[in-house]
Each structure stands twice: as structure tokens, then as C-alpha cells.
Amino acid sequence: MAQHTFQAPTGTRDFYPLDAAQRRFLTESWRAASIRHGFEEVDGPTFEHLDLYTVKSGEGIVSELFSFTRAGGERTYALRPEFTPTLARLFAAKANSLPRPTKWFCTPTFFRAERPQRGRLREFLQWNLDIIGDASPAADAELIATCVTMLASLGFTPKDLRVKINHRAALAEWFNRRGIAEAEHAKILTLLDQKGKMPPGDFAHKLAQFGFTPEMAEVFQRGIIRVEIPAGAGGVTVMGEQVTREQVGGAGHADPVDLTFFAEAVRPLAIELAAAGVIDWIDFDLSIVRGLAYYTGMVFEVHEASGAERAVAGGGRYDNLIELFGGPPTPAVGMGMGDVVLALVMKDKGLMPDEGGLLERAGMRPDVFVISNGTPGAEQQLRPLVAALRRAGMHARHTYKTTRNVGKLLKEAADQRAHVAIIIEDEATCSLKVLATGAQQKVSLAEAVGAAKIARVTTAPGVC
RNA sequence: GUGGCCGUAGCUCAGCUGGUAGAGCACGAGGUUGUGAUCCUUGGGGUCGCGGGUUCAAAUCCCGUCGGUCACCCCA
């Protein structure tokens, strides 16, 4: 009978030790930033009733889900494709006893039945961050600031990544003032979303159907708009690119471009972002609209500065969503960041730690590697010393090879990224070597555990 | 779901217009002077993604299929 070989399902990943270390590094970075900003960790089931997802997104979503029924069962379930419905369910169930705002985060796995491509897989991790019960621009800014702080902790700068912010409510109000019917708004948003996938001429032509001039199309193409911030709110007075009537149509044009209203609408948010110290990362950009329906206010995406790669993160305000899932009317703002694009962009920018760095940051490096020099007395002490180190809370390893060549075993200790090597000389003494520096000292075997602890603490590179 | 490109050792690949598989690195074992090096010896590992077809003969040519990748659709 021929052996059958099994492959991992399409769009999934196997996590060998180094991959697992990278995953843990990312999730720990997410966790640390969340906790520093006062968010609490939550989670829910990996699968939910299918209905939970069709409520918000309609039946069309089903083809994008992994759904199933239990053999012999009636109900249909789906592996979770996102966290927001679960979050809304959790909040709605205890809404009366939860504080306002409630600040929650999680870093779980999600599943989408799409064909994988660059930056998109069928199973992935996503950091979710939500502030529920606070309608203020300060909450929007806090969410974005948490996201930015996390990215900065990985080594990104405002030159690497840009946070592009738009405002659905302000756009809608602006459209209304231009006399565009409510029913047309979604079509315009869709058109804006697809702008990058068509020639500029086509885009202008399609926009014209909604009464926009080619000059307005030019404004949307430029995207970034100018927003003035009062001095004293973070010391920044002006941000963004000046778009003047002269640049896009001339002062005498019949339909002059006036974005004053829009700039006024987002200024409170800009002031909060300046106060949070992240204004350097921000562009107010009319071309960011984010997919579908439920956003009601601020929307944002984090992009690699040159526009390469997919969005690293995205989110926005959804003030109707908790209600939609059966809770009391509650304003909320949230975001998600997937691990796949994040890792790609980190590698693009040279910010992904190397093997040693990943093991370090994931907490996987051995504290001590114990070597016997091969004499009978030393050999006898090897296992007791390893055991004693482990009892003392240290990550201790030893070789499984038969050779007792000290040079080879030191190489093995270094290959395994151990911090300290202990070479047992005989039944009573050993040498303790700090591998990073080569410094070596003789100690009695009885003192070895204590000496290793001290060496480990005083030589540990800081984990930031 | 649709299309382009790609599948040879753990990795990077060689193998020409057909003549039943190789290199480097890596890995295992051992040696050399007991300190992360160099060096030497040696070992394991592939029904060439899978299945069919053409042929005396297929890693090589043809078809299908599976997988990967990139793009479209979609992107919560």
C-alpha cells in the first residue's frame, strides 16, 4: 500500500520553530501596545452561527466563509472571518454592566475562503482594537495612537508608513451640500474605492455622472488635503498638502473647489491626534473610503508610504453596529491589523529581526547550555546540574551528541543562541562562559546555579 | 470562481534538441590541541509534485490533476 502524503490546506501555514517565534513576536508586540494603552484582552469562539455574519454583511458573504454543519445537525456554523460581530455580541450581552468606554483587544486567528495572493491567506492572525461607548474624536485619536505606537515599537517611522484618514459623515454632508441624493453616496464611495484600478480619464468620466467636474476628480486623485491645526495643540499648525483653486481649476471656474467644510469637520480629530503625539504619521486623504457600508464617521488605513503592498491596518467608527447586533445604541470605533501584510512590510523595510532577534524577542533563547568535558566526574554532574538550573527557573539545555569535544559543544551552544555556557570540569568545579563576550570564570559546582543567574541577568540584552 | 508563471535532496539550483539524477550549502557521526575557527574522514536523504499518453527508452515531449505564486473578483 503506497504511503499517502498530506499537504497543508491551501492558504494555511505551518509554523516551524522560527515561524512560531516570529508569530509570537508579532502577537506579543500587539499585546504589549494594547496593554500599555489600557485595553483589556478578550476572545470568543473560533466559530459562530452563520447568521451572525449574514446579519451585517448579507448572504453574499457566505461564499467567502468556511461554513459547515455538524453531521446530523441542523444549524450552520462558520469559522470566524472577523471579530467585530463577536465583539458586538459580547458587548451587547453585558452592555449594562460594562464601563464606558470599554476598551478591548484580541489577537486571534481568522479564516476566509478566498483564493490566497500576496498579503492574503485563508488563515491569518489579526489584531483587533475597539473602543466602545465613546463618540468623541478623542476616542478616534486614542485608537489610532495605539496603532501608531505599536508600529513605532517595531521600528517604523512616519517615513515608512502613513495613516490615511477620511471621514464618512463629513463626506456625506459635503455631498448633500452639493445636492447629491443619499442613494448616490454609496456609488460614489465605491467609485472612490476603485479609483486606483482605472485610468484617471475613466475615473473623471465616471465622477462626472454625479455632477463632479474634472477638477474635482483631480482633487480626489491627489487625495491629501490641507488641515490647519491651532498652534498649541501639539505645536503643529499646518499639515497636509495645500490644494488651491488655482491648482485644480482656476479661481474663475464655475465650480470652484472648496474643501473648507471638510477640513473644518476633521479638525477636532486633527487636534486630538496632535495632542496624542502622532500627527506626523497622519494624512487626511479623501481617497480612503474602506469597502462597505457600516462605517459612520472616521475611517482610516495604514499604508506603506510608497503605496506598495496592501493596507497594513484599517478601521473606523461604526456607531450603529452594536445596536445592529442587539445591544443598546452605542458609539464605537475599532480597527484590525493582519499579520501577513505587516510581516511583508517589515521585511521590505528590513525591520524583521533576524533569527537570534526573533528567538530573543519570543523568549526562546536558552539561558544556559551545560557542557561536560567528558571526564567521569564531570559526566556524572551533567544531568543534576541541568535539573537544578531548570528548578531555579532557567531555560537549560545540554547536548544530545556523543562527542565531548568542548569546541564543538561550544559551537552548538552558540548555534542554539544560549546566553551562557557552563563547562563542567570535574565533580566539583566548572567554568561559566558568557557567550556574547567570551568572558569566562571558574566557580564551584555548588555555586553554578547562582552564578548562572547573575551572569544571565547582568548580560541579558534588554528586551524592549 | 477566472487567467499568467512555476513544481528536481531540508535550502539554492544544474541536468542541452529524450538514453532510468548531480553540485554547493545544510544536517548526522567521527578525528585533530579543552574554548565558538579552520581542516580531515564519513553517513543519511529524491519512485524528479501526482496520474495518464507518445516512445525501445521520459526529470526532459503532450494532456490532465494537485500544489505554490502573482493578478482579477472581493476585501468585513
CA A317 to C1' B37 (Å) is: 59
Lowest mean pLDDT among A38-47, A109-118, A401-410, A423-432: A401-410
Residues A220, A207: contact at Cβ < 8 Å?
Answer: yes
* C-alpha dihedral sign at A123, A127, A133, A134: negative
Q: Does A375 lie in the same domain as A352?
A: no
- What pLDDT is attached to residue A230? 66
**Mutual angle of helices A260-275 and A168-177, in 10-degree steps:** 160
Residues A310, A120: contact at Cβ < 8 Å?
Answer: yes
Instruction: Please classify residue A229 by burial: count the beta carbons closer than 10 Å to its beta carbon, then call 0-12 exposed, 13-18 middle and 19+ buried.
Output: buried
- Which nucleotide lies nearest residue A84, CA to C1'? B76
Residues A86, A323: contact at Cβ < 8 Å?
Answer: no
Whether A383 is covered by a domain: the verdict is yes
Which comes out higher in pLDDT, residue A217 or A303?
A303
- Which nucleotide lies nearest residue A13, CA to C1'? B68
- Residue A201, pLDDT above cutoff 80: no
Whether A2 is covered by a domain: the verdict is no
Instruction: Report residue A231's pLDDT band, with 50, 70 and 90 as the boundaries.
Output: low
Instruction: Report residue A48's pLDDT band, with 50, 70 and 90 as the boundaries.
Output: very high
Q: Does A408 lie in the same domain as A292?
A: no
User: Which CATH number fits the domain that encloses residue A382?
Assistant: 3.40.50.800
Residues A323, A88: contact at Cβ < 8 Å?
Answer: no
CA A402 to C1' B31 (Å) is: 13
Residue spans of alpha helices (H) in A194-229: 200-208, 214-222
- Which nucleotide lies nearest residue A3, CA to C1'? B47
Domain boundary among A356, A387, A415: A356
Whether A92 is covered by a domain: the verdict is yes
Residues A452, A420: contact at Cβ < 8 Å?
Answer: yes
Whether A76 is covered by a domain: the verdict is yes
Residue spans of alpha helices (H) in A117-181: 137-153, 168-177
The stretch A136-148 carries a mean pLDDT of: 97
Q: Does A263 lie in the same domain as A370?
A: no
Q: Does A224 lie in the same domain as A241?
A: yes
Give the cell for residue A376: 567521569
Q: Does A304 lie in the same domain as A160?
A: yes
User: Which CATH number fits the domain that encloses residue A296?
Assistant: 3.30.930.10
Domain boundary among A308, A330, A356: A356
CA A407 to C1' B42 (Å) is: 20
- Which nucleotide lies nearest residue A2, CA to C1'? B47
Please report, to the nearest 10 degrees, the dihedral formed by the alpha carbons of residues A306, A268, A279, A30 taken in order.
-80
CA A8 to C1' B17 (Å) is: 39
Number of other CB atoms surrounding residue A9 within 10 Å: 9
Lowest mean pLDDT among A192-196, A319-323, A347-351: A192-196
CA A117 to C1' B71 (Å) is: 8
Q: Does A245 lie in the same domain as A332?
A: yes
Question: How far apart are alpha carbons A169 and A186 in whole angstroms?
Answer: 12
- What pLDDT is attached to residue A232? 56
* C-alpha dihedral sign at A388, A391, A392, A394: positive
What is chain A's percent helix, strand, coil content, to nearest 5?
A: 40, 20, 40
- Residue A461, pLDDT above cutoff 60: no
CA A403 to C1' B15 (Å) is: 39
Q: Which distant-in-sequence residues (6+ apart) come within 8 Å of A332 by Cβ?
A: A130, A131, A132, A133, A317, A318, A319, A321, A322
Give the cell for residue A231: 498652534
Question: How far apart are alpha carbons A28 and A339 in whole angstroms?
Answer: 12
The stretch A231-249 carries a mean pLDDT of: 49
Whether A42 is covered by a domain: the verdict is yes
Q: Does A320 lie in the same domain as A250?
A: yes
Q: Which of A153, A187, A196 is nearest to A346 (CA)?
A: A153
| DSSP string across A62-122 | GGGS-EEE-TT---EEEE-S-SHHHHHHHHHHTGGGS-SSEEEEE--EEE--SPPBTTB-S
Q: Does A316 lie in the same domain as A437?
A: no
Q: Does A413 lie in the same domain as A342?
A: no
Please state the domain count of chain A. Answer: 2
Amino acid letter, residue A17: P
Domain boundary among A356, A385, A404: A356
Q: Which of A238, A246, A197 is nearest to A218 (CA)?
A: A246
- The distance between the two most distant Cα atoms of chain A, rounded to a whole number of Å, is 97
CA A18 to C1' B22 (Å) is: 30
- Taking C1' of B35 and every protein CA, the nearest residue is A407
Residues A334, A365: contact at Cβ < 8 Å?
Answer: no
Q: Mean pLDDT over all residues of chain A?
A: 85
- Which nucleotide lies nearest residue A373, CA to C1'? B34
State the residue for C-alpha cell 455622472: A209
- Which nucleotide lies nearest residue A78, CA to C1'? B76
Question: How far apart are alpha carbons A366 and A386 in whole angstroms?
Answer: 12
Residues A318, A252: contact at Cβ < 8 Å?
Answer: no
- Which nucleotide lies nearest residue A374, CA to C1'? B34
CA A399 to C1' B15 (Å) is: 40
First to last CA, chain A: 54
- What pLDDT is attached to residue A422? 94
In strand B, the nucleotides that come within 7 Å of a protein beta carbon are 1-3, 27-32, 34-38, 47, 66-76
The domain in which residue A206 lies consists of: 17-356
The stretch A327-342 carries a mean pLDDT of: 95
Q: Does A330 lie in the same domain as A411?
A: no
Whether A6 is covered by a domain: the verdict is no
- Residue A240, pLDDT above cutoff 70: no
Asked casually if ipTM beats, i.e. exceeds, 0.85, the reply is no
Q: Does A344 lie in the same domain as A379?
A: no
- What pLDDT is attached to residue A102? 97
- Residue A180, pLDDT above cutoff 60: yes
Q: Which distant-in-sequence residues (6+ apart) come within 8 Å of A416 by Cβ?
A: A366, A369, A397
Whether A5 is covered by a domain: the verdict is no
Residues A351, A152: contact at Cβ < 8 Å?
Answer: no
CA A2 to C1' B20 (Å) is: 21
- Residue A249, pLDDT above cutoff 80: no
- Which nucleotide lies nearest residue A83, CA to C1'? B76
Q: Does A165 lie in the same domain as A100?
A: yes
Give the cell for residue A158: 512616519
- What pLDDT is attached to residue A197? 75
Whether A320 is covered by a domain: the verdict is yes
Number of other CB atoms surrounding residue A338 within 10 Å: 21
State the residue for C-alpha cell 455538524: A70
- Residue A189, pLDDT above cutoff 50: yes
CA A416 to C1' B43 (Å) is: 23
